[in-house]
Amino acid sequence: IQPTVQEALMKGRPVVALESTIITHGMAYPQNLSMAREVEEIVTTNGALPATVGILRGRIHVGLTDEELEFLASSKNVVKVSRRDLPFVLSQGLSGGTTVSGTMIAAHKAGIPIFVTGGIGGVHRGGENTLDVSADLTELGRTPVAVVSAGVKSILDIGRTLEYLETQGVCVAAFGESREFPAFFSRQSGFQAPYHVRNEEEAAELIASVLGLGLSSGVLIAVPCPQERAASGQVIEEAIQRALSEARLKGITGKELTPFMLQKLNELTDGKSLDSNLALIQNNARVGSCIAVALSKLQKARRKGNLPRQEDTTPPRPVVIGGINVDFIAKARNPVILGGGQTNAGRVRRTFGGVGRNLADCLSRLGLTPLFLSAIGRDEHSESVLHYCHHMDMSAVLQLEGKRTATYCAVITSAGELSVGLGDMDIHQQITEQYVSQFKENLCQAPLVCIDGNVPLSTIQYVCQLAREHQLAVCYEPTDENKASKPFLSDSWKVLTYISPNLQELRAINRTLGNHLPAGIEYTE
């Protein structure tokens, strides 16, 4: 994931995913490159961050640099990558453009809820005999991403496509005042969408509803092509019939059919279909970006408890900011631990810890349901953590693709003394000031704020500054000797209400403040 995209997602800013098959297989170079740049610029202009998805040398990229865009646009031997193609393309180190299906998978894994494309695939004409049905439709039935498109490509069987989407449980809504389902180049298809949303706010509410229900299916928002640049339905239909006849004569089927049809339509309509194609892509980018901005605002408002239906019913609650760890404790059976690579008999167990998690756990068991701010990865440990913490409110905890959930491994002797400890806790640095500041209102109203030493220094200073301004009660748990002194590097410590150091941590704090160690409490190993 491109760093700017990752940062935007962490901060809850609007991000719009874009496909790359239109770059690799939809238009010729250099027109495809200028189109891609223009679409990204439209997304940016309308307040969102573009994240074009592509496969480069066997790796999925979410967000492309200009050089990477040019590579895909100018390369000759790139693959059209749908769900079925991903394993092979990645394993072979190939490059390719992602289809609607492929892009949805990457967007969902990255945590991007909105994806803009030209038009989705569907049931091909004659599909009742050939069973040629685009993987885009099944992807919409099993991947919770909102797809903004100009409906279904008009070269397809639109009626059967809508029936198939219904079978897959996909919520389909036309965008605007009409329920008329658009037909890509044309504004009318002769079919009605099941629902319609009048503006980006209604679209955002619909998407938020789907995400909130936890449905595994997506949403299709069908946006008609701008009136002034839409192609005549009759002209397009005549060209489609001619192109289909030629495709049948040449035996063109499968994933080669759509690129062939679009190219042939461009020839038969003297470029009118390509002009409409460019117009609808640009329009979809504008509409999709506005929906993404509206969705981001809606999610932030709900997260902060700003909606009227939440304000009066949710009492202020404690806030805990700190780490989550998966701990592996290995205790030797024999008094002497053998080195040299030998296996020592013992018992290994897994527990769930992290100072912040422990505090939030205790408060939850006391019935106080704290707001817990922390970070975990999307890996083999995250599901176990969430399952174990089912009694806690984990809704605000960051789940980050490509990051590892913090783990700690301790090897202890049979007598219970720590022999060696190893920690992988880099993810705690993602508990940033920017992330925590999204919950400023909750912090300012909290009867108690708990923060542990795993949290970055800038975040601790931010919380202490809020405490100073709003007279908050803050409990600081130093965590360990090396982290204990963070608030004491400045005047931040003066606003702390409670602190719970052990003797080692207290000595470290004392040294940081420049105080002499009082007689009688020297620490010895």
Provide the annotated active-site residues.
Answer: 19, 153
Give the Cα separation of 222 and 177 in Å (integer).
Answer: 12
Name residue, tokens 């005042």. 177
CB 146 within 8 A of CB 185: no
Q: 405 phi and psi, to 5 degrees?
A: -60, 140
Q: The dihedral of CA 5, 8, 12, 13: what is its sign? A: negative
Judging by beta carbons within 10 Å of its beta carbon (0-12, 13-18, 19+), is residue 211 exposed, middle or buried?
Answer: middle
For Cα atoms 189, 190, 194, give the angle at the middle one, nearest 5 degrees: 90
Give the Cα separation of 398 and 381 in Å (integer).
Answer: 14
Give the Cα separation of 175 and 191 in Å (integer).
Answer: 14
Among candidates 505, 513, 467, which has minimal Cα distance to 489?
513
What 3-state class would DSSP assign to 231? coil
Give the Cα separation of 222 and 243 in Å (integer).
Answer: 25
Among candidates 452, 497, 446, 441, which has minimal Cα distance to 474?
497
